[in-house]
Amino acid sequence: MEAYIVAAVRTAGGRRGGALAGWHPADMGGEILNALVDRSGIDPAAIDDVIAGCVTQAGEQSFALARNLVMASKLPDSVPATTVDRQCGSSQQAIHFAAQAVMSGTQDIVAAVGVESMTRVPMGSNFRLHAEAGLGVGPWSSRIKARYGVEEFNQFTGAEMIAAKYGFSRDDLDVFALESHKRGAAATEAGAFADEILPLPIETPEGPVLHARDEGIRYDASPESIGGVKLLREGGRLTAATSSQICDGAAGVLVVNDRALKAHGLTPLARIHNLTVTAGDPVIMLEEPIPATRRALARAGLTIGEIDLYEVNEAFASIPLAWRQSMDADPARLNARGGAIALGHPLGASGAKLMTTLVHALRAEKGRYGLQTMCEGGGTANVTIIEAL
């Protein structure tokens, strides 16, 4: 059987301490589940499972977060749920698990979602608080450190290594970051995100409003403003302006098979064409989308030229730039509506967020194939190829 996406939705991103800071992550994810039900028209009791991606599973995002999303939604208690951590690819992996389930026929309808409140559950707090309390030695044992010859595995180090390996200057990274803001701003002003965004009610000093625009976009970004941001490390190339923004948000897609399409009269938005995940060097860490994409294209029998749009997560500007260079990919098709540098990177929600944008953009632009890939902590990478319907 095939796997189809019949609904795809996301919140607008919120800056750290910004518009979505008042939302408990379980409630935010619950709203995504409600929207998937509303948009697809499915009976919520027919959903076989909920798979939720989340990176920092501590505090408000602990204790079976996916199940808490169900309990915060209008789904009945009969719907089970489980939580996935594949670092930044967590909700993309949730989509993969959902697709594999419905393709196997063991389940027919699975919601794949992601949620991350980086305001309320700060990145790294799941291990930092243990360290501050003197509990354990951290995630990397002495055996792991000895094997790789490092004391820690650091995404900033990996991103700088990639910039150096591929010969990118600070100016190259700044130019890419500015383009992300320009594209995000243009897409927002044109209403390109309107169909994919679920507005959430928030309180402001002026009273209640709906949060429906990505909060991180800098509409006044310029070469001077981006070029004036200090380097993250002395002698490096990357700055906060060429890195993804800390972001609160949630996103999700509803994945079904042929049997569910017919039984429930659902309308598919896209068909999942290929699912690939690979792993490589955990020290440079963030380079794996390149070999993963090559494997995905080979398995799918496609060339990069046959892909109409690509979403490559902008964890740091060096990552999509290295991918674009290695794949000889068309710059106009890469993150055509902006990426995480402008729109934000809500960690465990970003996989489903990018997929939501890819589905809606492909259909709006009458493209056929779209490809999404994420660099992930530990040196892994997911790739998903979809066909718009």
Question: Sign of torsion, CA 333 283 344 59?
Answer: positive
- Residue 29, both tokens: 């994810």
Rg (CA), the chain: 20
φ/ψ (deg, to 5) at 80: -80, 175
Q: Is 247 a catalytic site residue?
A: no
Q: For residue 97, count other CB atoms closer than 10 A to its CB.
A: 18
β-partners of residue 360 are none
- Residue 136, both tokens: 């354990």
Q: For residue 46, count other CB atoms closer than 10 A to its CB.
A: 15
From the candidates 54, 88, 211, 360, give the one annotated as an active-site residue.
Answer: 88
Q: Residue 240 has what DSSP assignment?
A: G
HEC string of 201-219 equals: EEEECCEEEEECCCCCCCC
From the candidates 96, 181, 345, 360, give the one annotated as an active-site residue.
Answer: 345
Longest dimension (CA), the chain: 60
Between CA 351 and CA 86 the distance in angstroms is 10
- Residue 326, both tokens: 């290695």
Between CA 223 and CA 285 the distance in angstroms is 29
Between CA 270 and CA 263 the distance in angstroms is 18
Q: Is 54 a catalytic site residue?
A: no
End-to-end CA distance of the chain: 16
- C-alpha atoms less than 13 angstroms from C-alpha of 227 in its C-beta half-sphere: 7
At residue 261, the 3 state secondary structure works out as helix
Q: For residue 303, count other CB atoms closer than 10 A to its CB.
A: 10
CA 284 to chain centre: 20
From the candidates 54, 247, 273, 375, give the one annotated as an active-site residue.
Answer: 375
Q: Residue 230 has what DSSP assignment?
A: P
> What is the amino acid identity at position 140?
W
Residues identified as active-site: 88, 345, 375
